[in-house]
A and B are shown apart, each in its own frame.
Chain A
Amino acid sequence: MVKNITIFTTNTCGYCQMVKKYLGAKGMTYDEVNLDEHPHRQAEALNLSGAMTVPVTVVTMQDDSQEVIVGYNLARLAPAVA
């Protein structure tokens, strides 16, 4: 069971829009961290994903376990939020 979802994005990232659109279509709510508006949180995104890219989607489950999905990767995103 999903507890919360955080997406790291930027203003210009098309793949970020797709992740938000996918979650929106599933009726799921999420927190968004826009790295253009909050550049001091880049290190957090990098530490979580190991990649200098967005989107980074962090799915936290009720038991506080986390799944981190880099990019617009439906093969991983869909089961993570199912």
Chain B
Amino acid sequence: MADKKDVPKHDVIVVGAGPAALTAAIYTTREDIETLLLERGVVGGLAAVTDKIDNYPGFPDGVEGLTLSDQLRKQAERFGAVIDLGEVLAIHDEGEFKRLETTEGDMLARAVLIATGSDYKKIGVPGEQEFYARGVHYCATCDGAFYRDKKLVVVGGGNSAVQEAIFLTRYASHIDMLVRSTVKASDVLQGELQKFIDDGKVTVHLGTTTNEIVGQDNAVTKVVGIDQASGKKVEFPTDGVFVFVGLMPNSQFLKGSPIDLDKIGFIKTDEDLHTTMPGVFAAGDIRSGATMQIASAAGEGATAALKIREYLEGHL
């Protein structure tokens, strides 16, 4: 471990650079609180790889996820936020400072905001891992272009699944949506999807589980599921599968730390968004009880920034 005096010190380190993180940074840096964001993936988080966001306030015609992320980044950087690429491996409480072990070396911060968000869940069926990125995908905006005039299966029935299925219609010749129970997407998204169903471009299979992804010669050829009403096996010939079945928390780096997680792995906080480690806060999708909405994440980012300011004022 490096001597403390050699380790870079920051007022606030924000772990992640999605909407919660960037909003928090806008608030802290406007208050002249020096703030470093550490991002291991894409600035903007899941929002940046979402085709279109229709429910973020202030954009009457919707906004591309990449555009919103870029605008948030520019706004945070305008006030002095610094975004570095790097991954946090562990957080240790050393009193006045928290020590963060990162891929770029150790760093110290008076306060930390964890805003690492979440990633799409796997379904955990045979073939999913084997054909990953060669027929099984979790990012429509990244990989959809490989399926021009091809048949696709989309697994899931929530907002993300419907939104991404709609995006994929610009490439695919036909999409079978496999929905384990019922479609739970918003009415607006369902209305939009209906247009593609009416055009014969999308077929929704309700009450259908996804049990196996089958392929040969390095390519996916079909998805095997069960029609729960009849109990019968059903097969969907396809060239690729896109999976959107919910989110899992990006909290692996906190396993074994004194920061309490719920049973799924989301971070527990109090009403001030304070975790069980003093001086460490959490906001956005990573927080237990979060609503998984970009607008909520931004709101929590603002709240966390104000609570961090209070915390820092009490610990100077």
Contact = CB atoms under 8 A, between A and B. Distances in A.
Interface of A: 10, 12-18, 21-22, 35-36, 39, 42, 46, 50-55, 70, 72, 74-75
A39 B148 contact: yes
A72 B85 CA distance: 11
Interface of B: 40-44, 48-49, 51, 64-66, 69-70, 85, 103, 133-135, 137, 139, 141-148, 167, 218, 240
Contact of B41 (A10, A18, A52): A18
B134 A50 contact: yes
A52 B64 contact: no
Contacts of A74: 40, 85
Given A14-B142, A15-B41, A53-B143, 19 more contacts: A12-B51, A12-B141, A12-B144, A13-B139, A13-B141, A14-B65, A17-B42, A22-B85, A35-B145, A46-B146, A52-B133, A53-B133, A53-B137, A53-B139, A53-B142, A54-B142, A55-B142, A70-B133, A75-B103
16 contacts: A10-B141, A10-B144, A12-B142, A14-B44, A14-B48, A14-B69, A14-B141, A15-B42, A15-B49, A35-B145, A36-B145, A51-B133, A52-B147, A53-B133, A53-B139, A70-B133
B69 to A, nearest CB: 7
Shortest Cβ-Cβ A-B pairs, 3 listed? A14-B48, A12-B141, A51-B133
Given A14-B42, A18-B42, A22-B85, A52 B240 contact: yes
Most buried by B among A12, A39, A53, A74: A12
A74 B148 CA distance: 29
Contacts of A22: 85
A38 to B, nearest CB: 10
Contacts of B40: 74
Contacts of B43: 18, 21
Contacts, number: 76
B118 to A, nearest CB: 15
A27 B44 CA distance: 23
A13 B44 CA distance: 12
Nearest to A13: B142
Contact of A39 (B48, B142, B145): B145
A21 B85 CA distance: 11
A12 B166 CA distance: 14
Contacts of A52: 133-135, 137, 143, 146-147, 240
Contacts of A10: 141-142, 144-145
A20 to B, nearest CB: 12
Given A14-B44, A18-B42, A72-B41, A54 B65 contact: no
B230 to A, nearest CB: 33
A55 B133 CA distance: 12
Contacts of A39: 145, 148
Nearest to A49: B133
Nearest to B240: A52
A8 to B, nearest CB: 10
A50 B133 CA distance: 8
Nearest to B83: A21
Contact of B49 (A13, A36, A51, A70): A13
Contacts of B49: 13-15
Contact of B145 (A14, A15, A42): A42
Contacts of B66: 12, 14, 17
